[in-house]
Structure formats: structure tokens, C-alpha cells
Amino acid sequence: MFQFLVKRLVGSAAVLVATSVLVFFLTYLAPGDPAVMIVRSRIGRLPTEQEAAVVRSEYGLDKSPWQQYFTWASHAIGGDFGYSFRTGKPAIAEIGSRLAPTLLLAGATTLFSAIVGIPSGLISAQKRNSWWDNFSRTLSLLSVSIPDFWLAFLLILVFSIYLGWLPTYGMRGAEYLILPVLSLGLANAARLERLTRSTLLQVQHENYLQTARAKGLSEGAVWIRHALPNIAVPLLTVVANQFSHIVAGSVIVETLFSWPGIGNYYIISIKFRDIPVIQAMVLLFAFVMVVVNAIADIAYALIDPRIRLE
């Protein structure tokens, strides 16, 4: 376990360093002058060259790209990602104030997907080629095929505009979670349903299940107590990936529902070309994916003792 943790730590550090270099120079090469945008936000007009030069000197934008990168990276190691060009506040504080809503949305969506997808796949595997199996597979195919932003528009149209049942703006209570969770969670639940069904069908004739049936266990107990735990590893992999992808990829849905998370704030930062915030957020997304996948790898050994991480 210790050897695995060391390898994972080194690999994660390498991924984060590579990500930091890539995102820094991609934002540096993006069109537009950050100094001009900063001055324009302060004084409400296009700046003179002298005014822009003062801002470049203030923020170190007059240095070479590599000098800027090493200065930024040395501070980022200590948790200092600079100050937002738009608000003047620390970038990490701006992100931290919006991280909790995104984690709440990602956690609720992942929980919804697991609660809906895994039992649905279990029932479909038990009742293969039944009306439920055919209905479930058709519905899952539709859910996977519909883009989440288009599904969000449909849900808003039906449940908010036509029926007036659910709100679509902000985060003031549990009811505000329903439409964003459905928009992001239906496709993920469908993927879990299809994975659960196909994996269970692959192991349904294994010897350990035949032994459990020979002991007199009911068919439901055979599937739940013996078959389902033996496919936990691939399910855990998908669930972990879904959580990290929601954290990093819920930008459009958060924007549509005005959800006060980092996805919505990311769009605002890109429009303004708020480089410190963009860089910090991309590193945050990479960090979340690395940490979640590492936790999933460790959980494999806890769930299935046959797996040795080393």
C-alpha cells in the first residue's frame, strides 16, 4: 500500500505540473491583452498605452512567459494563485466561495445516478428480455443520446414554464436541485444501468452463483448478496469518473440554471479573460480528478481483497 501511495503521489504531481504548464501557456497565447481589459474595467474606457504599461508592470505581464510561469508556479505551490483581474480578490478565495455549490450538485447527481442506475440494471439483468428490460434499455439509450444542455431546456420548458412546479434560477432550497440533478444525472444513471446489466449477465452462470443457488438461496439473494458485490469494482470506477466529470464539466448546466458554482463562474472568468482565476480553476479540476481516481483505486482493495495495489 505504501509503495502504491508513493507512486500515485509522484504520478499525480507530474500530471499537475504538466497541466499547469499547458494551461498557463494556452491562456498566455489567447487573443486579447489582459492589461487593456483590467484598465477598461477600472476606468470604463479603452486605456492609453501608458496606462496599460503601468498595469502590465503591476501584474508582471511585462516579463517573459517563462519568467511569469515560474513566478506564478512558485506562489501556487504555497496556495497563492494571484488576484482576480476582475474583482481584485485572491483567486483561491473567489473559487473557494463557489466550490461548495458545485460539490453539492456533483454529490447529489452522483447519488441520484447510483440509486436509479444500479437497481434498474439489476432488475433488467434478472428479467432479461422482459417488458421492463426492453423499456429500461430504450429509456437508457434515449438518456445517453440527449445532450445534457438540451435536456435542461426541455425540463425547464415542461416543469417550470408549462407546469410551474419547479424553480430554475439560483440555489435557495432543495427544490432548486431537482432540475440540475435530472439534467446531469439521467445520462449517468443510464450508463450505470447499462454497465450493471451487461456485467451481471456476464457473471450469471459463474460457479459461485450456482453454489449459492444450490444452497437454497432465493434468486434475489443470489443476485444482491453474491453477484452485485463481485461487479463493484467497475461500478466504482464509473461512479468516481462521473463525480469528477460533473465537478469539471457542469459548466453549461450551471450557467443555464444560474447555479452559483465554479462552472458558472468559470464562464464569467473566460469572458473577462481573468487569467489567475482560469489557471487556478483548471488546476482545481485536474486535482479533483487525480484525487477521486486515487481514492477509487484504494477502495478497490478494500472492496475486493483479491486486488493488490502493488
Domain boundaries, the chain: 94-303
**Rounded CA separation 201/52 (Å):** 65
Is residue 60 over pLDDT 90? no
pLDDT of residue 307: 63
Q: What class does CATH assign to 94-303?
A: mainly alpha
Percent of the chain topping pLDDT 90: 7
Region 185-214: mean pLDDT is 84
Tell me what pLDDT residue 112 has. 94
Q: What is the pLDDT of residues 118-159, one digit of tens each?
A: 899 888 888 888 888 888 888 888 888 888 888 888 999 898
Residue with more model confidence, 263 or 249:
263
State the DSSP H helix or E strand holding residue 287, giving kind and residue range, or none if neither: helix 275-303
What integer is the mean pLDDT of 284-307? 76
pLDDT digits (tens, 9 = 90+) for 85-118: 777 788 888 888 888 888 899 999 999 999 999 8
pLDDT at 296: 77
Cα 223 from Cα 213, distance rounded (Å):
10
113, 241 contact by CB (below 8 A): no
Per-position DSSP letters for 236-286, written without gaps between them = HHHHHHHHHHHHHH-HHHHHHTT--SHHHHHHHHHHHT-HHHHHHHHHHHH
Is residue 61 within 8 Å of residue 55, measured between CB atoms?
Answer: yes
Nearest to 35 by CA among 65, 62, 74, 5: 62
Task: Tell whether the model's pLDDT for residue 310 goes beyond 70.
Answer: no
Task: State mean pLDDT over 32-49.
Answer: 71
